[in-house]
C-alpha cells in the first residue's frame, strides 16, 4: 500500500504509470530499511515513512533515469538511499525547530522525545550509507559532499548574515545548499545510473538544484498563503518560529510606510496572538507577490534547462514538474 501524497501528474500516462510502479517499490524498500529487530527503532523509523509525503526526491531520481535506460541496475537503490537521507534530516530538523507536527502527524520528538528522534535520524543515515556503499565509492563520495552542503546550509541559516551581503541573496544561497543540494543529487543520480552521457547528466544536476530552490520557495509561500493545514503543518509555522523566509525578507526590505506594522510583526518570531493579523497583512502584501515572482523566475530557469535535454517523456516530465511548482498549494 502506498503512502505517497502528491498532486503532481505527468502528461504522459504511460510514463506516469511506470514511475508510479517504481515509487511503490521505493515505498516497500523504505519500510524494509527500518524493519529492525529493535521494536522502538522499528516504530520510530517507520513513523515518518507511514505518515506519507510527496516522495519528490525519489520520483525525480526515477524520472531522470529515463534520460538514459531506466532498466539499468542500482537506480531504485539510489532513489531509496536518497529518500532515507532526506527523511533522516526531517527527524533532526524537527528537534532543532521543536516542531510538534510533521506531515499531519505528531513529529517523532513530540511522540517520543528528542533523543529518540535524533537517534532515529542517525539510524536512517546509516541505512542510506549502507545502500550507497553497494553503489560504489563515487556514489558514496557524492552523497557525502551533498550532505556536507546540506549541513552547511543549515548552519548558515542559524548564524547572522555576514555584513555586505544582500539578505535575499544570502537566503537563496542557503536554500541552494539546504534544499537544492539533495534534490540536485537525486536528479544527477537518476541520469548517471541510467547511463545518460556526461552533458545530459550535468544539465539534469543543474535542473535539480534550481527546481529544489523553487520547491522550498513554494513551501515558504504555502506556509503563508494556504488557508488550511493541508500541507501537513499549521499555516504560519515559520512565522511563529521566526524563520526568515523569502516573503518575510521582502517585507522587511520594503520601506513603504504602509508596511510599517507588517515589518514590526515579522522583525522577530511572531506572537501566537498576532499570527492571524500577520498572515492577513502578508497575504495582501507586495512582499508575497515578490516571492511569487522569484518562484516564477526559478521555474523559468528550470524549464529552460529541461528544454535543453533530449526530447522524450523524461524531458516532458521535468517540464510538468516546473508547472507543478507554480500550481501546487500543499
DSSP assignments along 152-208, one per residue? HHHHHHHSPPPTTS-HHHHHHHHHIIIIIHHHHHHHHHHHHHTT--HHHHHHHHHHH
8 A C-beta contact, residue 26 and residue 19: no
Q: By mean pLDDT, which of 17-31, 40-54, 185-199 is the weakest?
A: 40-54
Measured CA to CA, the distance from residue 307 to residue 169 in angstroms comes to 26
Q: By mean pLDDT, which of 23-32, 68-77, 294-303, 318-327 is the weakest?
A: 318-327
Q: Binning pLDDT at 50, 70 and 90, where does residue 83 land?
A: very high
CATH number at residue 84: 1.10.600.10
Number of Cβ within 10 Å of residue 111's Cβ equals: 15
Q: By mean pLDDT, which of 149-163, 286-300, 304-318 is the weakest?
A: 149-163
Q: What percent of the chain has pLDDT over 90?
A: 63
Number of Cβ within 10 Å of residue 316's Cβ equals: 18
pTM of the model: 0.90
Q: Does residue 1 sit within a domain?
A: no
Q: Binning pLDDT at 50, 70 and 90, where does residue 3 land?
A: very low
Q: Does residue 92 sit within a domain?
A: yes
pLDDT value at residue 225: 84
Q: Does residue 26 sit within a domain?
A: yes
Q: Domain range for residue 119?
A: 13-327
With 70 as the cut, is the pLDDT of residue 321 above it?
yes
> Which of 182, 288, 286, 183 shows the shortest CA–CA distance to 235?
288
Q: Does residue 8 sit within a domain?
A: no
Which helix (H) or strand (E) covers residue 101, if one does? strand 101-102
239-287 confidence digits (pLDDT tens): 888 888 999 999 999 888 888 999 999 999 999 999 999 999 999 999 9
Q: Does residue 200 sit within a domain?
A: yes
> Structural domain tally of the chain?
1
CA angle 258, 264, 266 (to 5 degrees): 110
With 70 as the cut, is the pLDDT of residue 234 above it?
no
Cβ burial, residue 319 (10 Å; 0-12/13-18/19+): middle
pLDDT value at residue 228: 57
Q: Does residue 178 sit within a domain?
A: yes
Residue 230 or residue 271, greater confidence = 271
Q: Does residue 212 sit within a domain?
A: yes
Number of Cβ within 10 Å of residue 87's Cβ equals: 24
CA angle 102, 319, 55 (to 5 degrees): 25
Q: Does residue 286 sit within a domain?
A: yes
Amino acid at each position: 500500500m502506498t503512502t505517497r501524497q502528491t498532486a503532481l501528474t505527468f502528461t504522459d500516462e504511460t510514463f506516469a504509470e511506470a514511475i508510479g510502479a517504481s515509487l511503490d517499490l521505493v515505498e516497500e524498500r523504505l519500510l524494509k530499511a527500518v524493519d529492525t529487530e529493535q521494536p522502538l527503532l522499528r516504530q520510530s523509523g517507520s513513523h515518518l515513512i507511514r505518515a506519507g509525503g510527496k516522495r519528490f526526491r525519489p520520483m525525480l531520481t526515477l524520472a531522470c533515469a529515463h534520460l538514459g535506460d531506466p532498466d539499468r541496475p542500482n537506480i531504485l537503490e539510489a532513489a531509496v538511499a536518497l529518500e532515507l537521507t532526506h527523511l533522516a534530516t526531517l527527524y533532526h530538523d524537527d528537534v532543532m525547530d521543536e516542531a510538534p507536527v510533521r506531515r499531519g502527524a505528531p513529529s517523532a520528538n513530540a511522540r517520543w522525545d528528542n533523543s529518540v528522534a535524533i537517534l532515529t535520524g542517525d539510524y536512517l543515515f546509516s541505512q542510506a550509507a549502507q545502500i550507497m556503499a553497494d553503489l560504489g565509492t563515487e556514489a558514496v563520495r557524492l552523497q557525502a559532499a551533498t550532505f556536507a552542503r546540506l549541513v552547511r546550509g543549515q548552519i548558515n541559516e542559524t548564524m547572522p548574515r555576514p555584513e555586505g551581503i544582500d539578505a535575499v541573496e544570502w537566503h537563496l544561497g542557503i536554500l541552494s545548499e539546504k534544499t537544492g543540494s539533495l534534490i540536485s543529487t537525486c536528479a544527477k543520480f537518476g541520469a548517471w545510473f541510467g547511463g545518460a552521457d556526461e552533458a545530459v547528466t550535468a544539465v539534469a544536476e543543474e535542473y535539480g538544484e534550481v527546481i529544489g530552490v523553487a520547491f522550498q520557495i513554494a513551501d515558504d509561500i504555502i506556509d503563508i498563503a494556504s488557508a488550511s493545514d493541508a500541507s501537513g503543518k499549521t499555516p504560519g509555522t515559520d512565522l511563529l518560529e521566526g524563520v526568515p523566509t523569502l516573503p518575510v525578507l521582502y517585507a522587511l526590505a520594503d520601506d513603504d510606510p504602509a508596511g510599517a506594522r507588517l515589518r514590526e510583526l515579522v522583525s522577530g518570531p511572531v506572537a501566537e496572538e498576532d499570527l492571524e493579523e500577520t498572515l492577513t497583512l502578508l497575504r495582501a502584501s507586495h512582499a508575497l507577490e515578490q516571492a511569487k515572482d522569484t518562484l516564477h523566475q526559478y521555474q523559468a530557469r528550470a524549464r529552460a534547462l529541461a528544454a535543453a535535454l533530449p526530447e522524450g517523456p523524461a524531458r516532458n516530465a521535468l517540464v510538468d514538474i516546473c508547472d507543478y511548482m507554480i500550481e501546487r498549494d500543499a
